[in-house]
Amino acid sequence: MIGHRRSAKGLAFDTVVVPDTHEDAATDPTSAALRMSSYVMATRARRELHLGYEGDAEPPLPAQVNRRVLQRGEDERLRDVRPAMVN
């Protein structure tokens, strides 16, 4: 299922992918609304949570998560993947 962040509240999935955490970079990482949205998304995952972003630097909120809790890494196969344009 593909859904919007707002429609995920109250649901649970084996795997959750949040591909656009970079869009939150302009938001104050101490913002209650941002933290609540991130909490809701993170707690929807039963087994796996994947956070994606564009750019070289992690967005401020995921960057605050302890490295022992959030595994980080790059997959060379995915570095140059661009979203497909739909006409």
Average pLDDT over residues 20-32: 83
In a domain, 27, yes or no: yes
Its domain, for residue 56, covers: 5-73
Is residue 83 a part of any domain in this protein?
no
Task: Give the confidence band of 21 by pLDDT, cuts at 50, 70, 90.
Answer: confident
Count of domains forming the chain: 1
Rounded CA separation 17/5 (Å): 11
CA distance 68 to 80: 27
Residue 22 in domain: yes
**5 within 8 A of 41, measured Cβ to Cβ:** yes
pTM of the model: 0.69
Backbone angles phi, psi at 72, to 5 degrees: -115, 150
Apex 34 CA angle, 69 and 2, nearest 5 = 80
Establish if 59 belongs to a structural domain: yes
Does 10 score more than 60 pLDDT? yes
pLDDT band for position 74 (cuts 50, 70, 90): low
In sequence order, what are the residues at sequence separation of 6 or more whose Cβ sits closer than 8 angstroms to the Cβ of residue 27? 33, 34
